[in-house]
């Protein structure tokens, strides 16, 4: 029994809740903060180029595959259009101790599409199948999942999902938008419901043992209650949440933080990013502190003085400067009391 089946059994009918992979957001500092303040049932890494790992740049990408025990269960997500590279990436994930392997077949980024990877694979179902099967070879006993969309320009779920199901992935996560819609249009969860029906039809045809695939939905989930409602309405096994968690590490716990709590955790997050994500000599691998700036707007909004505080934080060049700015604001809060 793989870890997804274990979680499903433990949830007793409630949906599995996961943290979505988000580029330059779900790095290991963010995931560790999430694990501390509102841990979901599973987390994903940012997507990592399988080609980059083995065809140059592997050292720079290795930081994206570092994780702590507190984050488990954790799934490594890769993208490529080359089955052999996916096999090698899945092997690496297994050797590094990941709990699962996920294949990105939904990213609309043009640089990814130029490599015939991400969402582009929706236009090549045969290659997509080859990549899934190659991942299974490399992953061995680890579960292999796929994150995708409902189609390229329109709804192609009727042909696209059956092609994926033929390879019996452990999970298929449906981002309920097309590639063309990016994240601009409202997510259409009726297609997640249809995906569940297609899975059930396939299961009847091939038998339970030959189709163990779980269907997860993704898109426009505002809260845990909303996730549960969407799961009830569609029959999906799990829900993946991305943007609503951004700046809200308490999302999965249901805790409503005070302003002071938010600022203290932002300070903690910045410090952790500096310690484990920023480049360190002599290797110099990692991400620039500037990446943290996208978190400032997420954490610092919806209260008096938020704009001024954000502007100050955006000028900070390191975690120490962030700490000073936040400490000054906390002093103001305490003095006002």
Residues 257-289: tens digit of each pLDDT: 999 999 999 999 999 999 999 877 656 678 899
Answer yes or no: is pLDDT of 99 > 70: yes
What's the mean pLDDT in 299-328? 96
Answer yes or no: is pLDDT of 66 > 60: yes
Residues 25-34: tens digit of each pLDDT: 999 999 999 9
Give the model's confidence band at 332: pLDDT under 50 very low, under 70 low, under 90 confident, else very high: confident
Residues 281-302: tens digit of each pLDDT: 656 678 899 999 999 999 999 9
CATH 3.20.20.70 holds for 3-252: yes
Residues 144-169: tens digit of each pLDDT: 999 999 999 999 999 999 999 999 99
Closest CA to 30 of 84, 70, 85: 70
Give the model's confidence band at 12: pLDDT under 50 very low, under 70 low, under 90 confident, else very high: very high
Active site residues: 107
What's the mean pLDDT in 80-101? 97
The CB density around residue 158, as the number of other CB atoms within 10 Å, is 13
pLDDT value at residue 1 = 75
Long-range contacts of 294-298 (CB under 8 A, 24+ apart): 294/24, 294/25, 295/25, 295/30, 295/246, 295/247, 295/266, 295/269, 295/270, 296/266, 297/247, 298/246, 298/247, 298/248
What's the mean pLDDT in 203-220? 95
Q: List the chain domain ranges.
A: 3-252, 259-336
């Amino acid at each position: 029994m793989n870890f997804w089946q274990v979680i499903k059994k433990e949830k007793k009918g409630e949906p599995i809740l996961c943290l979505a992979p988000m580029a330059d957001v779900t790095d290991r500092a963010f995931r560790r903060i999430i694990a501390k303040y509102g841990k979901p049932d599973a987390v994903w890494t940012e997507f990592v180029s399988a080609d980059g790992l083995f065809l140059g740049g592997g050292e720079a990408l290795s930081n994206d595959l570092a994780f702590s025990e507190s984050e488990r269960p954790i799934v490594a997500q890769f993208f490529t259009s080359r089955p052999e590279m996916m096999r090698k990436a899945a092997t690496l994930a297994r050797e590094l101790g990941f709990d699962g392997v996920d294949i990105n077949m939904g990213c609309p980024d043009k640089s990814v599409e130029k490599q015939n990877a991400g969402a582009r694979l929706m236009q090549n179902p045969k290659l997509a199948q080859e990549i899934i099967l190659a991942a299974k070879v490399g992953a061995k006993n680890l579960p292999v999942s796929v994150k995708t969309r409902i189609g390229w320009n329109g709804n192609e779920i009727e042909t696209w999902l059956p092609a994926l199901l033929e390879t019996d992935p452990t999970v298929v996560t449906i981002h309920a938008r097309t590639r063309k819609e990016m994240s601009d249009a409202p997510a259409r969860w009726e297609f997640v419901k249809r995906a569940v029906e297609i899975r059930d039809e396939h299961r009847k045809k091939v038998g339970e043992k030959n189709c163990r695939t779980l269907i997860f939905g993704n898109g426009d989930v505002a809260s845990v209650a909303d996730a549960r409602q969407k799961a009830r309405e569609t029959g999906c096994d799990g829900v993946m949440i991305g943007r609503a968690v951004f700046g809200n590490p308490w999302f999965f716990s249901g805790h409503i933080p005070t302003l002071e709590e938010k600022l203290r955790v932002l300070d903690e997050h910045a410090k952790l990013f500096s310690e484990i994500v920023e480049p360190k000599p002599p290797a110099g691998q990692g991400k620039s502190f500037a990446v943290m700036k996208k978190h400032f707007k997420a954490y610092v909004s919806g209260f008096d003085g938020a704009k001024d505080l954000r502007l100050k934080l955006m000028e900070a060049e390191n975690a120490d400067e962030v700490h000073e700015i936040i400490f000054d604001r906390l002093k103001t809060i305490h003095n006002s009391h």
